[in-house]
Structure 1
Amino acid sequence: MATPSASPDTSATASAPKKYNLRNPLPLSASQEQEVKQLYHKRVRARCAPEIKAFAECAVNRTVTATWVCRQQRLAMNSCMIEHANNREEEDRAREEWFATFEERRRAKEQELVRVEKRREEVITMMRQDEERRRQQAQGR
């Protein structure tokens, strides 16, 4: 009976980062889908920025009365948001943007992990130095 052994080719590809195909993307996890939706909504808000700004300016220093006093601005803002939010092409563009910036986000996460690990090591060193200083003070008394 032959024993299974890992070939060098499979181990090398397992550690290499995945390349995403923008034309045929893989199904995304729930957290990845949430990131795509955030990009999508950000793009929609950017397209409707003038309408949102007009409503916000009208609603300043108003509470309940903003509903009917700023009705025209609110309806303009809502219609713009609905128009762009129901656009499948906009969602596809957000998904493409997410895939295009995947490597950049991965690198940023890795740098953050390195920074956190470096800071953790600094804190451990400081705690050890403090412990040593206290031990020396206790022996000196």
Structure 2
Amino acid sequence: MEAMAPSRAPEKEEEVPRLPMPSRNPMPLSSSQEAQVREVYHARVRGYCAAEIKAFADCALGRTFTAPFKCRPQNRVMNSCMISHASQEEQDAAREEWFANRLKRQVERERKEERRKEQERFHKEWWGLPVEEREGEKGNEVLRNAERVGGFPSREREGELSKDRHR
């Protein structure tokens, strides 16, 4: 009889009603991440109802005040389609799609950062001046140097700059 007691305990735990899990990915997301998930969700719902949305848009094209009255049947069809597809399962699917594309977004961010670094290296090489030296005394010294036209100091500024250099 003692062997039966442990087998009954799990049965009682299974009988306890549980709240439905809102998502298979219960990881808390930041507000910007949740906004991205909502964008994916809305795009999915709009994708299902693209034909109905197009029919309503075609009807409303060129109308302003009369659009709600003239296009009421198309509007009802479009709204009923969107409501039928706007479900918790669709939100869960959008969240899963967002998590699935996480690696792709990370690769894209890394590519952007590499491009930024490459552009910064090009800038330093092109101008021969590192970013930290563009500001401060060394940057001002570069600005005080003679203006070059064709590789030679300009004649009208040559005298002015030579006076400034002796100060």
CA distance in 2, matches of 1:23, 1:77: 29
Cα distance change of structure 1 residues 116 and 65 upon mapping to structure 2, 3 Å threshold: same
CA RMSD of aligned residues (A): 2.5
Match of 1:137 among 127, 148, 151: 148
Residue number in structure 2 paired with 1:104: 104
5+ residue gaps, structure 2: 1-22, 130-141, 159-167
CA distance in 2, matches of 1:92, 1:135: 65
When Rg is computed on C-alpha atoms for both structures, the one with the higher figure is 2
CA distance in 2, matches of 1:67, 1:97: 35
CA distance in 2, matches of 1:89, 1:45: 15
- How far the C-alpha of 1:78 sits from its partner, in A, is 1.2
Q: Percent of counterpart pairs with the same letter?
A: 45
Residue number in structure 2 paired with 1:121: 121
CA distance in 1, matches of 2:113, 2:95: 26
5+ residue gaps, structure 1: 1-21
TM-score normalised by the chain length of structure 2: 0.62
Residue number in structure 2 paired with 1:34: 35
Instruction: Work out the number of aligned pairs and report it.
Output: 117
TM-score normalised by the chain length of structure 1: 0.72
Structure 2 counterpart of 1:107, which letter? V
Matched, 1:95 2:98: no
- Farther-moved stretch of structure 1 (24-33 vs 110-119): 24-33
